[in-house]
Structure 1
Amino acid sequence: MTASNLLEFVRYALCSALALAIDFALYLLALRMGQAVPVAAALGFSVGLMTSYVLSVRWVFLQRRILDRRQELLVFCTVGVAGLLLTQLLLWLLVQRAAMRPEWAKLPTAVLVFMFNFSVRKALLFASLPLRKIRYEN
């Protein structure tokens, strides 16, 4: 791993920790307000996703593959939705099948989804070679 990749990984971990704290706080709040686990998870994950995007493009990643911000956000969110689906699957398995408390099930789920999100986003969005150099003008 190069020094710049390590720096990005550490910064992404810090941003993800903040996004996870926001995600987890909203998840717990929604559970306490009587929401079902999938609804609580989706709410927390969505706000965490936007936090992660803003910090990723402003502070974490040094390179960009997609120069059009709208396309970049679309791909970033698509990866986030895939992460959300993975989150839902893992929470279902841990809560329903493994009888783990929802609060505890969120922790291993978050670690696995973090690794998934970083790897896919780095490969698709924030590597050194542009996939598209087209800028869409309004």
Structure 2
Amino acid sequence: MQVNSSYGVPSTTPPSALSIAREFVGYFAVSLAGLAVDAIVLLILISGCGLPVVYSSVAAFMAGLAVVYLCSVKFVFAKRRVAQPAIEFFTFAMLGIAGLLLTMLIMQVGTQQLHLDYRWTKIGAAGASFICNFALRKLVLFSRA
């Protein structure tokens, strides 16, 4: 049984390839919005406020993460497994660590073992991380129970 965003209304309809494709495209769009927020907040905190890069990076990342989460639950994913938003957000953020670890692995292998340019390696890592995050979040948080 699937549970929609109203938490608890059962649905036995399996997701179609088209609905998953729509969610994928929507998640891509909200991820771009989150990246834009991350970059803007980072610029403001470092250049405008003079805050240290490390602290600014964490704050900017969290702002971008919040945008991706809020837009994901509002506009992208119709089905939700977790009824408590705080637990859902925490899980959403923790699943993002898988994407970060994959990025680190690809960057390490690409630049250190394969001696590829870091910019090209980063493009591949970003794509792999995006797909990993979408798949994990879809399976764990935004699919039928």
TM over 0.5: yes
Deviations 1:9-64 (A, max 9, x none): 211122223334566786xxx9xxxx8xxx7xx85765543332122112111110
- What is the alpha-carbon distance in structure 1 between the residues aligned to residue 114 and residue 39 of structure 2? 20
2:112 aligned with 1:99: no
In structure 2, relative to structure 1, the CA distance for the partners of 1:49 and 1:81 (3 Å cut) is: same
Instruction: Give the Å deviation of 1:110.
Output: 0.9
Deviations 1:83-131 (A, max 9, x none): 11111111111122222232222111011111111111101100133xx
Q: CA RMSD in A?
A: 3.2
In structure 2, relative to structure 1, the CA distance for the partners of 1:3 and 1:114 (3 Å cut) is: same
Q: Which has the larger radius of gyration?
A: 2
Structure 2: which amino acid aligns with 1:88? M
8 Å CA contact retained: 1:20, 1:110: no
In structure 2, relative to structure 1, the CA distance for the partners of 1:114 and 1:124 (3 Å cut) is: same
8 Å CA contact retained: 1:64, 1:125: yes
- What is the alpha-carbon distance in structure 2 between the residues aligned to residue 12 and residue 101 of structure 1? 28
Spell out the pairing of 1:1-138 with structure 2 (5 A cutoff): 1-20=16-35, 48-129=64-145
Gaps of 5+ in 2: 1-15, 47-52
Gaps of 5+ in 1: 130-138
In structure 2, relative to structure 1, the CA distance for the partners of 1:88 and 1:24 (3 Å cut) is: farther
Structure 1: which amino acid aligns with 2:122? K
In structure 2, relative to structure 1, the CA distance for the partners of 1:19 and 1:92 (3 Å cut) is: farther
Identical-residue share of aligned pairs (%): 36
Moved more, 70-79 or 14-23: 14-23
- What is the alpha-carbon distance in structure 2 between the residues aligned to residue 46 and residue 88 of structure 1? 19
8 Å CA contact retained: 2:95, 2:137: yes
8 Å CA contact retained: 1:12, 1:118: yes
Q: Helix, strand or coil for the counterpart of 2:73?
A: helix
8 Å CA contact retained: 2:23, 2:76: yes
8 Å CA contact retained: 2:27, 2:72: yes
Length-normalised TM-score, structure 2: 0.66
